[in-house]
Amino acid sequence: MATKKTPAKKTAAAPKVKAAPRVTKAQKTATRKAAAKKPQGPKAQLTARHTTKESLIGSIIGSVVATGENREAVQTRLLRASNAQLLRLASVVETVTKKFGSRDKLIDAITKASKSAKDKDYVAKLGTYSLPRLLDLATSKQRAAAKQ
């Protein structure tokens, strides 16, 4: 008596993997040129936006000067600051002018959010703070008020 053989099981063929397309030299140079067009360092960003350090300082000095500070003293301090610090300060000034309008309105928003508008000593102390510190304080007070 002969035994019957069972047919062999068929396995699925593995999918063929396509090789990644090769990047040509022309494509590499095009991406390098596109990356080179963006100003990368702080000096390049400063010259791209404001031409000189003095022009950037001139545009932000009005918002940066706190109550009772000498404008010329602040300007000489800013001239010694690094380009990255000045760019960061310029972005803070831009944010404050968009959201609040001025330094005084920012202080009013902080006192309203903390419900201490009648406390004259607190308002006077806020007038001595730097603009980035005031902006940080305003955002934290507004978040705390929104949670309640």
Full DSSP string of 31-80: HHHHHHHS--SHHHHHHHHHSSHHHHHHHHHHHHPPTT--HHHHHHHHHT
What single DSSP character describes residue 117? T
pLDDT at 50: 80
Q: Name the residue among 129, 64, 123, 125 with its Cα closest to residue 91.
A: 64
Q: Name the residue among 24, 92, 45 with its Cα closest to residue 64.
A: 92
Asked whether residue 36 carries a pLDDT value surpassing 70, the answer given is: no
Residues 6+ apart with CB under 8 A from 68: 127, 128
pLDDT at 59: 87
pLDDT at 143: 87
Asked whether residue 134 carries a pLDDT value surpassing 90, the answer given is: yes
The predicted-structure confidence for 73-130, as pLDDT tens digits, reads as follows 888 999 998 999 999 999 999 999 999 998 889 999 999 888 888 889 998 899 888 8
pLDDT at 34: 67
Burial of 125 (0-12, 13-18, 19+ CB in 10 A): exposed
Asked whether residue 68 carries a pLDDT value surpassing 80, the answer given is: no
Are the CB atoms for 92 and 24 separated by under 8 Å?
A: no
